Amino acid sequence: MRNLIRHIALRATSSKGVMVHIATAAVAVSIAVVIVSLSVIFGFKEQISALVSGTISDITISSPYGERQPELYPIRDNDSLRTILVSTGSVAHMERYALRSCVARGEEGAVGIVLKGVDAEMDDALFVERLEEGAMPRMEVARRKEVLLSRSVATKIGAKCNGRIEVLLLEGETPRRELFKVCGIYRSALGDVGSELVLTDIRNVQKLNGWDSSQISGYGCRLYNSAGAEECADILNLRLMREYEGEESIVAISAQERNPVIFGWLETHDVNAAVIATIMLVVAIFNMVTALLILVMERTRMVGVLKSLGMQNSAIRRIFTYRAVRIIAVGVAKGDALAIGLLMAQRYLHLVKLDESGYFLSEVPVSLDAGWVVLVNIVFATIVLLMTHLATVIVGRIDVAEAIKYN
């Protein structure tokens, strides 16, 4: 019986040239749009998270009072604190830093900056990648008064690579003045967010703040999984409260908490993806149901004959379900091929560009993983098939006598 049902289901009909192709195309286009949309959204999240991680870290460990005047609230760099931070197993990289709020003045103006002191522990891959002129500050035995400016700061004050800028430290009525050499200029990864960061040797900032070599503003931690930053920060705060024995108050703050606007913007993409997926699913279901109803109408006489021979409605419904399965399978396969082809073209040929000032990225990002692609295929195909199978209930309404006379 099963072989008979399959044979009847797969037998060609006149609709093969019209409705079956339309239904197959609808499924293919729908699944392709869903995969492309999700790939771009996941790509945005991964790329922006990587930019945040490289610029300001997934988690920062510092004094809770050091946000506005970090030079007044240092913490001690010590082994016991480092042990607590790495004990969660989530921290992939940790680096110490020292901050000083000040004003940079050049030939064409002045602007507020945050002088960020770093050392050889720093993962500078992102800054090296976005370096436009010059080189990174040198971390040598002899301390050098070099700074790396963002293009935004350099433009505002008229600073040039290998030139000098004046750094004003606002202390009392008379500001202190320090001269620094501009060793390089980088392109800010997050637009205006973080563009005020000016990198230098950590010893320069410690000297300006009047600190000893063990005093720092905090640690920047990059995680194995940036998406788990908030949860990891909560765990670290509990451990710091219970286990840290230092005199300073120390808190862990996630990048999501420090930059709610950026991550809120990313979350809106999830809504967009849900809307697109829903619309495409409805389109695919509508076209599949329409095609199936036309198939049933074209085979009304066949249905009547099979009923007169004693075949049950459930068996006849399976005939059309098998037909729907084949249409969906072919549509999903073609949709996958279309989506993956477009995404690979974007990944390697960089076809679609973006305005980096608005999106932080110069081109549409792509993220592909076999796991979620297969899951989307299964969920999508299952929902469409279930709705299509429900539509075959029309078979039970066909009258045998009328069907046999149907031409």
* pTM for the model: 0.76
Residue for token pair 């506005």: 68
3 state DSSP class of 221: strand
What pLDDT, in 10s, does the model give residues 357-382? 777 788 888 998 899 999 999 988 88
Same domain, 299 and 202: no
- How buried is residue 6: exposed, middle or buried, by Cβ count under 10 Å (0-12/13-18/19+)? middle
Establish if 256 belongs to a structural domain: no
What pLDDT, in 10s, does the model give residues 130-151? 899 999 998 887 888 999 999 9
Same domain, 69 and 207: yes
Establish if 59 belongs to a structural domain: no
Same domain, 106 and 238: yes
Distance in angstroms (rounded) separating the CA atoms of residues 187 and 214: 31
Dihedral sign (CA 250, 254, 259, 264)? negative
Residue ending a domain, among 222, 249, 276, is 249
Same domain, 119 and 158: yes
Q: Is the pLDDT of residue 182 over 90?
A: yes
Establish if 88 belongs to a structural domain: yes
What was the pLDDT predicted at 14? 44
What pLDDT, in 10s, does the model give residues 205-264? 999 999 998 999 999 999 988 888 899 999 999 998 888 877 778 999 998 888 888 788
Q: What percent of the chain has pLDDT over 70?
A: 85
Same domain, 341 and 388: yes
As a whole number of Å, the end-to-end CA separation of the chain is 26
What pLDDT, in 10s, does the model give residues 8-23? 445 544 444 577 788 8
Quote the mean pLDDT of the chain. 83
CB atoms within 10 A of CB 62: 24
Establish if 257 belongs to a structural domain: no
The amino acid present at 65, given as its one-letter code, is Y
Q: How far is CA 202 from CA 170, 183, 211, 212, in A?
A: 19, 15, 11, 11
Residue ending a domain, among 215, 249, 283, is 249
Question: Which one-letter DSSP state was computed for residue 159?
Answer: -
Distance in angstroms (rounded) separating the CA atoms of residues 234 and 236: 5
Residue range 165-194: average pLDDT? 84
Distance in angstroms (rounded) separating the CA atoms of residues 95 and 139: 14
Same domain, 186 and 221: yes
Establish if 207 belongs to a structural domain: yes
Residue for token pair 């969660």: 88
Q: How many domains does the chain have?
A: 2
Q: Is the pLDDT of residue 108 over 90?
A: no
Per the model's pLDDT, the better-predicted residue between 255 and 390 turns out to be: 255
Strand ranges, E, within 139-196: 146-150, 164-169, 176-186
Helical ranges in 183-312 per DSSP H:
202-209, 229-243, 255-258, 260-298, 300-308
3 state DSSP class of 176: strand
The amino acid present at 290, given as its one-letter code, is T
Per the model's pLDDT, the better-predicted residue between 355 and 335 turns out to be: 335
Question: Two tokens at 400?
Answer: 């045998």
Establish if 254 belongs to a structural domain: no
**Domain span at 209:** 64-249
Q: Are 308 and 404 in contact (CB under 8 A)?
A: yes
